[in-house]
Every structure is written in structure tokens, then in C-alpha cells.
Structure 1
Amino acid sequence: MAKNKKEYLFIDAYNIINSWAKLKELSRLSLDTARNELIEIMSEYQSFTGINVIIVFDAHLVKGSNTKEEDVYGLSVVYTKEHETADRYIERKLDQMGRNKIVRVATSDWTEQQVVLGRGGTRISARELEIEVNRVKISIKKQKEKEVKYKKDSLGERLNKEILEKFEKIRRKS
């Protein structure tokens, strides 16, 4: 990533939900649960990577709906207005952002990928995003393990209780 450019990742939400086996299975039970799971996964991803994630849900078939943007766990979550698809919303945002920012769009829709490339963004397929998210999860796990190991390597962890009590008495006298 260039030093002065922010990086953004737009997620075509239902495309991802219908592409990832875990989310697809969840959506069969409850679409709301699948949406929430995607938001939680991407929140963790954003937190670790520093990439600004915008999750876009189609609401174009919802009568009378207006564009709704929410901050959920630090993510931007968008529900499109009536007659506006997630693809159209993302395309409009790409046009507004220009080429000053690094923008990726996660979708497996081939036509949308071509439009994104033509507007200066880059594309990432649902499968590639899933692989990237899993790599981030592994990195988070390794970082947590290092933190736990570091805490166990502290002086207090290596000294017996008797010596710690003596140090505490000395500290209180000071």
C-alpha cells in the first residue's frame, strides 16, 4: 500500500454470503445470522489489517427503502436504496473516490469485476477473500500466542511465591 493512500475494501455482501460455504449454510437457517457473521468476520479483518471495509447489502427489492449507512463494530455497513443494487452503489462510490485511494472490490461477479477494473479499482474474488481472511485469522492467533508467551516469560512468572513476597515487602517500604 502506498504511504499516503488509504486502502478500501468494498464487499458485495450477498455475493460473499452465497460463495462461502459457512455463510451459505448459515443463510439457509437465518439470513440475518449470516449477515451478522460476515460483519463480525470483516470487523476482525479490518481491525487487524487497517483496511477500511465497506459491506454493501442489496436492498433494491425492498419497497420504499432509502440508502442506509451504519457503523457496526467500526465497519461501514450499507443497505442500498430501492432499485439500486450493491454493484451500482459500489460503482458510484468508485467514481466518487477517484484514483487517489486504493480500492478493492470483493465479488465473484465477472461483469462487476470488469467494471471495477475499468474504474480504477482492483477486484478480489469471494474465494480469494476467504483465503485472505483465513490468513489474517492465523496471524491473529499467532500474535495472541506470542502475547501469552511473553506474559509467561515475565519476571513475575519465573520467580517463586516466597521471593515475590519479599520483593513486595521491599516495594512497600520504599
Structure 2
Amino acid sequence: MKRKKRRILIVDGYNLIGADQELHRESLHSLEMPREKILAALAEYQSVANYEIICVFDAYEVRSKESIIDYHGVTVVYTKEKETADEYIERFVHDHYHPHLCEISVVTSDLTEQNAIFALG
């Protein structure tokens, strides 16, 4: 019996907010609404796409432990204190990627992050 290949789409949430002019403008006042809009769009996309979706928001400057919640089927990760979304994503890809068992796509406009992910496969 052939195992189904896991397909994961992992998104750097704040990076995506920063890449969109409207969301970026909104984020200057509060991050709550732009986060909500990103998560709603990802949940809608997941309903038609064949991906597990993980959206990562870093809590680099916030005193907190890592927290993971479910938002309408999208896994939302708030990183622990002093951990960037980039660090979380790199660790996740390193721990979960397997060429025959798990395909991972990363959404980010951060060139350094792109290079690090490509280096992992």
C-alpha cells in the first residue's frame, strides 16, 4: 500500500502582511485585523487546495511561550520569545521534509529565508 505524500504550505504571516500594501497600512495601527484577514484567506485557500497550511507569526519581542492554535483548519503558530518566524520555519522544514514522504512549500519574500529553505531541499 502506497503512503500518501504529505503536502505542507508554511507561511511567514508578518512577512506576508508586510508584502501587501493595504495590510501593511492597517498593521501600522494594529496587527489584529491584518492577521485575521491573512488567516481567513488561508482558511479559504485550504478548503480548495490539497495542503496542510501552517501560518507562523513571530513573537520575537513578546514574552511568551510558543503557542499553536487551529483557525478553521489552518495551524497558527506564535513563536516563543526570541524566536523569529524564519528560525521556526527553518527548524520545521529541517525536521519534517522528506523527498518521498513530505513536500513543503514556504511563502516568504525574505531572500535569506528562501536561500536557507532551498539549501534544505
- Same fold per superposition (TM over 0.5): yes
Task: Give the superposed CA RMSD.
Answer: 1.3
Counterpart for residue 38 of structure 1: 38
Contact 2:97 2:103 in 1 (8 A): no
Unpaired segments of 5 or more residues in structure 1?
121-174
Summarize the Cα distance change of 1:52–1:25 in structure 2 as closer, same or farther, 3 Å threshold: same
Q: For 1:49-94, what per-residue CA distance to the aligned partner results, in whole angstroms no more than 9, with x for missing partners?
A: 121110000101112x111000011110000001110000011111
Offset of residue 24 of structure 1: 1.4
Contact 2:18 2:24 in 1 (8 A): yes
**2:86 partner SS:** helix
Which protein has the bigger helix share? 1
Q: What's the % identity of the aligned pairs?
A: 39
Q: TM-score, normalised by structure 1?
A: 0.64
Which of structures 1 and 2 has the bigger CA Rg? 1
Counterpart for residue 92 of structure 1: 91
User: Is 1:20 the counterpart of 2:20 in the alignment?
Assistant: yes
Counterpart for residue 10 of structure 2: 10
Which residues in structure 2 correspond to 1:37-76 (within 5 Å)? 37-63=37-63, 65-76=64-75
Q: TM-score, normalised by structure 2?
A: 0.91
Instruction: Please give the alpha-carbon distance, in whole angstroms, between the structure 1 residues aligned to 2:112 and 2:119.
Output: 11
Instruction: Please give the alpha-carbon distance, in whole angstroms, between the structure 2 residues aligned to 1:29 and 1:83.
Output: 23
* More contact order relative to length (CA 8 Å, sep ≥ 6): 2
Structure 1 stretches of at least 4 aligned residues deviating more than 3 Å after TM superposition: none
Number of matched pairs = 117
